Amino acid sequence: MNPIMNQDPAAPSSTPAPAPPPRAAAKPVALSVRDLRAGYAGGAAVLKGVSLDISERRVTAIIGPSGCGKSTLIRCLNRLHEALPGAFCDGQIMLGGRSVLDWDPVLLRREVGMVFQRPNPFPTMNIFDNVAAGLTLNGERDRAKIAERVESSLRRAALWDEVKDKLKSPGTGLSGGQQQRLCIARALAVEPRVLLMDEPCSALDPVATARIEELLLEIKETLTVVIVTHNMQQAARVSEYTAFMLSGELVEFGPTQGLFTKPADKRTEDYVTGRFG
Amino acid sequence: MGCAAPVIPPPTGRGRARVPGPRERAGDAFFRRALAVAASLILLVALALAWQLASASRQTWTSLGPAFLWRTGWNPVDDSFGALPFLYGTAVTSALAMLIALPLGVGSAIFLTELAPRRAAQALSFAVELLAAVPSVILGLMGVFLLVPAVRAVEPPLSRALGFLPLFRGAPYGVGLLSAGLILAVMILPYITAISREVLLTVPRPLKEGMHALGATRWEVVRGVCLPYARTGIAGAAFLALGRALGETMAVTMVIGNAPTISASLFSPAYTMSAVIANELAEAAGDAHLSALIAVGLTLFALTVVINGLARLLIYRLENRS
Ligand SMILES: Nc1ncnc2c1ncn2[C@@H]1O[C@H](COP(=O)(O)OP(=O)(O)O)[C@@H](O)[C@H]1O
Ligand SMILES: [Mg+2]
């Protein structure tokens, strides 16, 4: 069973009782998060009541110092968090008007794809099979259709031209940036509604990072992106909305422009101006 | 082989960096030579063993030649010797054991690493390791008192259901190839389970999560990521287990019936190479008998060397494919 319980009734920090209403919600909402609390085996809550609305077909960036709970937050969104032994989470997350807890996690993850911090192509599969992995899980058997989808996904991930002649060679033979784009293609191939990205560029050099930011601008035309980043310039470049988190709480959330130029909270200001700590 | 050069910190301005003095270097050289001697000793022992076996069985090889391996009669009284029944018994019981234990062992390992709650997994893993430590004569006793009667009871219905196959025809003795295969399966199961479990535990979490994030079920993660990643190690576990099954003596001797016959039926009594050596060596009637037994031993030795070589080759191939 899913361990959905809050083992920490008395969280050390005093969160204001009703969660502050999220302010950024001009567009239709793809994912809405209410009063999310989560933590790990034997520990106190890492997320102490986070609420935010993620707008559809926009890029939402989550920034904050290391360890503040950014990864934990987005791993709750596709219910990967609860797969860890002993991890708990409660609160409400709605996708398409339905609580994610009512979804079969397997089906949920086909709607909410994920790209990880370190590129993780499957080492025993070639490039083609890596991209096709999610499709074959879905039960797709039509070779021509798979090939077509693999190509279109690799094109969307801006990788097609570099790999089209070596689709049968192992994915682990690519450079780090290419591997990460392969992982993006793999996630896109399943045609998710939402793509979660957990510091997707932190292991990459500036050129590879720039390529991924470029392709983000393209793919957000068709899907919702939530990107965790420790790089504030990156958040400013790619996102429409930014959420700033600090020790498990959402400090400020709003249009990226405003958050960086006129932060409402002193802590946000300190962080974005580099005066943090 | 590729021994890395010792990492010596570059001398700092004060010349305080430690550079190995002549005495230390002499110690190093001594240590290296001692290890080289120890390593070559292992090879030497193996070669001496092979030579000893070969020379002690020369009488058999000169009188019968390689035909010893495919002759069937084994009758020490009139000096008639042929190793085929033992080769057959060893091959069939080992194959049967692998057929049963490999899927069961790998399945248990998957259960322990991917599905079982952590507490239960720990307890079960401990039990598996305990099973590996049970002396084979104890398992043989269990075989005699529990397994053989059970097999004897099961054979008639099995024969009625599957009797159209020669494998399942014949009188229900209880002792025989089936019992021996089953007891061997019990003996190698903990090896396959324990090693496969270790290997499956090394599958990186990010890979599994990558598969989960695509909407894979647990089984799909196992099939798509865990098993391919662990296949080399599992192949190693299988060959280690096969090596053990080929050489296992005590428990098999107790339940196989010890009859040097070849029959298509799994119900019939048989004999293995190690069992015949253990049973007859002490009371070998004459030189010819002794020589024939040692020839069987040499054959078994060669077989295990070949199996090990094949295991290495397979693992090498698998490693280069990915
Ligand atoms: N698997 C885990 N087990 C226990 N604690 C964890 C685990 N992963 C993260 N944490 C803790 O949760 C807190 C938040 O982690 P995380 O969400 O990864 O932060 P971020 O992604 O913002 O750097 C950290 O204090 C970290 O120590
Ligand atoms: Mg993180």
Report pLDDT digits (tens) over A217-241: 888 889 999 999 988 999 999 999 9
pLDDT, residue A26, reads 54
Dihedral angle computed from the Cα positions of residues A127, A130, A136 and A138, in that order, rounded to the nearest 10 degrees:
-140
Q: Report residue A9's pLDDT band, with 50, 70 and 90 as the boundaries.
A: very low
Helix/strand/coil (H, E, C) string of A263-274? CCCHHHHHHHCC
Specify if A23 maps to a domain: no
> What SS3 state is found at B165?
coil
Q: Which of B72-81, B209-218, B282-291, B312-321 has the highest mean pLDDT?
A: B209-218
The whole-angstrom separation of Cα A36 and Cα B157 is 60
Specify if A15 maps to a domain: no
Distance from CA of A273 to the nearest CA of B (A): 33
Contacting residues of B for A118, CB less than 8 Å apart:
206
- Model pLDDT for residues A22-73, shown as the tens digit of each residue: 554 456 888 999 999 999 998 889 999 999 999 999 999 999 999 999 999 9
pLDDT of A15 above 70 = no
- Model pLDDT for residues A107-166, shown as the tens digit of each residue: 999 999 999 999 999 999 999 999 999 998 878 889 999 999 999 999 999 999 999 999
pLDDT of B304 above 50 = yes
- Model pLDDT for residues B242-275, shown as the tens digit of each residue: 999 999 999 999 999 999 999 999 999 999 999 9
pLDDT, residue B297, reads 95
Domains and CATH numbers, chain B: 46-321 (1.10.3720.10)
The single-letter code of the amino acid at A72 is: T
Which of A83, A118, A138 is facing B212, going by the closest CB pair? A83
Specify if A195 maps to a domain: yes
Ligand 1 neighbourhood includes A153 CB (under 6 angstroms) = no
Output DSSP code: residue A277: -
Ligand 1 neighbourhood includes A67 CB (under 6 angstroms) = yes
What domain range is A219 assigned to? 29-272
> What SS3 state is found at A13?
coil
Specify if A10 maps to a domain: no
- The ligand whose atoms approach the alpha carbon of A44 most closely is 1
pLDDT of B14 above 90 = no
Angle at which helices B287-321 and B84-110 cross, to 10°: 30
The single-letter code of the amino acid at B213 is: A
Into how many domains does chain A fold? 1
Of A4-8, A50-54, B266-270, B313-317, the one with minimum mean pLDDT is A4-8
Specify if A9 maps to a domain: no
Scan for tokens 């092979």, then name that residue.
B50
pTM over 0.90: no
Residue of the CA atom closest to atom 7 of ligand 1: A40
Specify if A11 maps to a domain: no
The whole-angstrom separation of Cα A246 and Cα A272 is 12
pLDDT, residue A25, reads 47
Contact assignment for B224 to A133 by CB distance below 8 Å: yes
CATH number at residue A247: 3.40.50.300
The whole-angstrom separation of Cα B169 and Cα B167 is 6
Distance from CA of B111 to the nearest CA of A (A): 15
Alpha-carbon torsion (B65, B66, B70, B75), positive or negative: positive
Rounded mean pLDDT of chain B?
89
ipTM of the complex: 0.86
Q: Report residue B17's pLDDT band, with 50, 70 and 90 as the boundaries.
A: low
CA–centroid distance, A92 to ligand 1, in Å, is 20
Specify if A20 maps to a domain: no
* CB–CB contacts below 8 A, A to B: 67
pLDDT of A21 above 70 = no
Of A256-270, B17-31, B206-220, the one with minimum mean pLDDT is B17-31
- Model pLDDT for residues B175-219, shown as the tens digit of each residue: 999 999 999 999 999 999 999 999 999 999 999 999 999 999 999
Specify if A202 maps to a domain: yes
